[in-house]
Structure 1
Amino acid sequence: MINALIVDDEPKNLRILQGLLGESCPDVRVVGEAVSAETAIPLIASLKPDLVFLDIEMPHGNAFDLLDRIMPVNFEIIFITAFDSYTLKAFKYSALDYLLKPVSMDELRTAVLKARERIRFKNINEQLQTLLFNINKPNSALQKIALPNNEGLVFVQMADIIRFEAKGGYTYVHTTGNQKYVSSRMVKEYEEILPSDLFFRIHNSHIINLNFVVKYHKGRGGVIEMSDNAIIEVATRRKEEFLNRFGIR
């Protein structure tokens, strides 16, 4: 059984979420509710929840203000928000879950399943630090990303990643210093969340960091050399867009 606390300043939302949890997540027991960061802090201390559903925008301090005051934490978090803003990409970088209001039952069930898995790995404080770091660093090159693997998560500076390579159902992440990480996340998933000003999917099996391209050799699609000496074919359909990134038309 997962003991959960809900933090939301709107009583209607508290009732709706509690009802959805009762219908779709019978292994989640709501042990408390709070309507502000101030009332949440003593409840967290006394109830010691396994999971907190945390509304991002609240009067008199948002979710991040609350976390700044109580970190490190020993519970998982699912964030809830009504705002689909650029900030939400930071959640994906840190491998933390968020739900958009109105909350759907299917998305809630999926988020709880993932939270249950994360409880085993206890990476939450590193994930929160990555989230807060990224929110305060709007320049994508300065941000960090969490790389899920079979043991948990590895946190890597975005600017240090040279390329993502799809191989056998996994993604190999090559970074500076001749480091390589194996991630259980598919390369297509990375394509969806990576900043497009920094990364480009040059081939079905490769996403590259444009800052690490060393040479381009002409051809039907062409071939590039990366700073780690990798030689990568440019897909014909992506050639024009790739060259445009460097102002070549």
Structure 2
Amino acid sequence: MRTIIVDDEKQIRDGLKILLSSIDDIQIVGEASNIKEAIEKINELKPDLVLLDIQIKDKTGFDMLDELTSHSFKLIFITAFNEYAIKAFKYNAFDYLLKPIDPDELNNTIERLKEQSSFDSRKQMEVFKENKELNRIVIKTTEQIYVLDLEEIVHCRADQGYTHFYTKNRKHILSSKTLKEYNEMLPKEKFIRVHQSHLVNWEYVSSYEKKGELILKNSERIPVSVRRRHIVAELLN
């Protein structure tokens, strides 16, 4: 999980980095000491997880969340104040840890978070395998749960650990699951992986340029990787 630490005390940030370094699958990609810097880092780095202090100089972690236009990361509050717990969970926090941080408590929280993420992915893949007639998919973001008919999905684009969904009515949904996971879930007869970063609903393909681009019915252009061009060419024959 790509992780950002937001705390105005360097000593706390350094301590968290040491604790997290011993936990598998955690990658510290950034840190911030104030709200402005935190928002910039989150928008740039698109983390899977944010460890967020509540009192940050003259603002709060809640202020940061309110200023973000949208986000799809998991959230763990780290604070010395226990009176904000109820408010924290209203912001969809996964957990609320009190300083000084107990290493075992932090490790247990991260493990539960990883188990939940893994369970959500497995559960949806099992549903698709058991019911081949299923024609809808559930996409969860931090703000909403979408139920999409597969025929609504035009294409999907990978963005590091995230997946952007683009629909026929031009709705844009950002999921925290990877394109690889969706490639395994979605039916192969409809959705073709034409590039490491692109999964296309074949019903929306208008034409193919042999230089390596698919032209969709909405005029979007999707690159086709060199090693997948023969697959696309065979499908069009």
Smaller-chain TM-score bracket: 0.3 to 0.5
After TM superposition, the score normalised by the length of structure 1 is 0.45
TM-score, normalising length: structure 2: 0.48
